[in-house]
Amino acid sequence: MGEQTKTSALTGFLAVLYYEFLWNLRKKKIVGLFILVFIIVTLELALPPILDYVNGVTLTPDPNSVTDFFSVNGIFLFLIAVATTMNTISGEFETGSITPLLTKPVSKNTVFWGKIVASFLTLLGIYAFLTIYVTVGAVVIEGTQNNLQLVPLGLIGLTLATMVWASVVIILGTISKNSLVAALGSFGVYIGITIVAAVLGTVYGQTSILFYAPGGGATASTTLCERGVGTTFSTGTDNLGYLLIQLVLNPNTVLNFCGVRISPGGRGEGVQLFTSSSDAMSTVALRALGVSLAYTAVLLLVSWYAFRRSQIIESS
C-alpha cells in the first residue's frame, strides 16, 4: 500500500467506459432489447420468402437484401436509442450512485464523455451483431449478396442516425435527471417531429425545411415528380445507413423532391405534384450526414454544459 498513482485522463476515461459496460450489460432491459431486435430482424428476413411461398410465387433471390436492410424505420432506431440511453445519466441521479461516482478522481467531463462514448459503442455493438446476423441470414435465404464491402459503412450510418435520437434522450435526461421524462419526453419529440413533417409534406410537399429536420426528413423520388412517383425513399437522418451506401454506389443519381400545387377549381384531383428541387445523391447523403452530426453535437454539447453545471443537491 501507499504508492501514489497519478490518474491520467486516459486511464480515467477507460475506467468510466469499463464502469458503463459493466453495469449496462447486466441490465435486463439491454438483454431484452437484444432479443426484441433479433426477433424483428428475423421476421424481416424470413417473412418475404415465406409469404412468397404461401402465395405460390417462385422465390426470386434478392441480391440487395443486405444493403436494403439499412433502410430501416425511424421508430426502430428511436426505440433502440431510448433503451440504450434513457438511464445513462438520469439513472445515476435517480439511484444516487452519481454521488460516489463524481467523488472519484475522474472529472465531470470524463464521466460525461465516457458515458456518451459507451452509449455509442453499445449501439455500434448491437448493430454489428444485427448486421452479421442479417448478412448470414440473407446469404442463406437470398443467395449471393452484392456490395457486402459497404456493410461497415451502413453500420456506421445506422449508429450515427441512432445517436441523433440518443442525444435527444440524453439532453432530456440530463436536464430533468429523470429517466421517465427522458423516455416519454423524447417520444413526444419523436412523434411531434414526425407529425409536423407529415403535415408539412402534405401541405407544402418535400420542402427544404425537411432537409434539416431530424428523423425521416424529405422523401426523394428517382423519377421526376410530374411523371408519377417512381422509387421513393426517405433522405432524413434516420436513413443515413442506406444513404451512405448509396453515396458510394450511385453518387450521381439525381433525386427529385416533389412540391404540391393545388390547382384552384381545376379538373381532376386538384392536387398536382411538381419537382420543386433536385439534388445529386452525393449531396443528399452528405447533407443527411452533416445534419445528423450537427444535431448530435449541439444536443450533446448542451447536455454537457448542463451536466457540468449540475450540483448534487438531492438528499440520497
Ligand X SMILES: Nc1ncnc2c1ncn2[C@@H]1O[C@H](COP(=O)(O)OP(=O)(O)OP(=O)(O)O)[C@@H](O)[C@H]1O
Tell me which residues touch other proteins (CB under 8 A): 1-8, 11-12, 14-16, 18-19, 22-23, 26-27, 95-97, 99-100, 102-108, 110, 308, 311-313, 315-316
Q: Is 311 in the site for ligand X (CB under 6 A)?
A: no
- Shortest CB 12 distance to other proteins, Å: 6
DSSP-assigned letters across all residues of 88-154: TTHHHHHHSTHHHHHTSSS-HHHHHHHHHHHHHHHHHHHHHHHHHHHHHHHHHHH-S-S-GGGHHHH
Between residues 177 and 287, which has the closer beta carbon with respect to other proteins?
Answer: 177
Between residues 11 and 231, which has the closer beta carbon with respect to other proteins?
Answer: 11
- Shortest CB 314 distance to ligand X, Å: 6
- Contacts with ligand X, 128-167, as mask; x by CB under 6 A: ----------------------------------------
Which residue sits closest to ligand X, CB atoms considered? 313
Between residues 31 and 203, which has the closer beta carbon with respect to other proteins?
Answer: 31
d(CA 89, CA 81): 14
Q: Which of 189, 150, 207 is nearest to 295 (CA)?
A: 189
Which residues, 6 or more positions from 27, have their beta carbon under 8 angstroms from its beta carbon? 87
Q: Which does 19 bind (CB under 5 to 8 A by kind): other proteins, ligand X, none?
A: other proteins
Q: Is 315 in the site for ligand X (CB under 6 A)?
A: yes
Vertex 239 angle, CA 238 and 241, to 5°: 115
Cα dist from 133 to 129, 199, 272, whole Å: 6, 37, 43
- Shortest CB 309 distance to ligand X, Å: 16
Between residues 13 and 120, which has the closer beta carbon with respect to other proteins?
Answer: 13
- Shortest CB 33 distance to other proteins, Å: 15
Between residues 10 and 313, which has the closer beta carbon with respect to ligand X?
Answer: 313
